[in-house]
Amino acid sequence: MSKQVVVVIGAGGMGEQIARRQGAGKHLILADFNEEMLASKAAALQIDGFEVTTHTVDVSSRESVKALAEAAAAAGPVVEVVDTAGLSPTQAPIGAILNVDLLGVAIVLEEFATVIADGGAGVVIASMAGQTYPGLTPEQEFALATTDTDALLDLPFVAEGIADPGAAYGLSKRANQLRVKYASIAWGQRGGRVNSVSPGIISTPMGQQELEGPSGVYMKAMIEGSGTKRIGTPADIANTVSFLLSSEASFITGIDVLVDGGVIASVTTNPPAFLTQGA
């Protein structure tokens, strides 16, 4: 019998932690756009006893994601899929963020809905930025959830209404949360489940880059004002992902789980001065 297959898209800080948490005793397929990093992470996992296959993928390309899904299904029953791929506002311009963080997630949800095994589950890594993205009408949210994937970037408020990379990131992450709701129906038709996890400020290379960027002072203030008063770790996210993928979460699908150490709770009930002053 073929081993069960776990697919982790994005080999960075959270992706590697999740791969180590979920991949033992299974056939782990690790996918990323960065071939050099992908090879390095896979080699480290293999040294530690994991059975790993690598696959280069561009999540913004349907053909590329479809090839990954087909390769995963050919390797065995696809029981877990985790999409951690994403670009932050300090890493990329508006167009790249929309292609990877918004369109890419929609494509992954659609293509893996056709190969997920009965009883399998998926998780998309969204962001707390999606929890407070401002100004969307109910009609716009419905459009983000249900519009045909190939037409998502043509929605007027997506194509013409994004002012800066931060807004592109927030909109994309809100779309992830909404898209998972809609995708849960298609996944359920194969006996699968799918949810999203919205991390707060996490100590990954991407997170540290954001802390050192223009918004770093605000992020540090949000951490200090939160209930936990600490930055999150990749393990904090992997723990939540592991639960959502497990049989203990068999009645949970189509939802978003916020894992932010209390930042959103704080800024929405006791906002820092820079927010109340309109900074």
* Residues with catalytic roles: 169, 173
Give first-to-last CA distance, the chain, whole Å: 59
Number of Cβ within a 10 Å radius of residue 103: 21
**Residue 49 class from Cβ within 10 Å (0-12 exposed, 13-18 middle, 19+ buried)?**
exposed
Q: Distance between CA 257 and CA 216 in Å, rounded?
A: 24
Provide the 3-class DSSP secondary structure of residue 249.
Answer: helix
DSSP state, 34? Answer: -
DSSP 76-142: S-EEEEEE-----TTTS-HHHHIIIIIIHHHHHHHHHTTTEEEEEEEEEE--GGGTS-----HHHHH
Q: Which of 214, 241, 203 is nearest to 13 (CA)?
A: 203
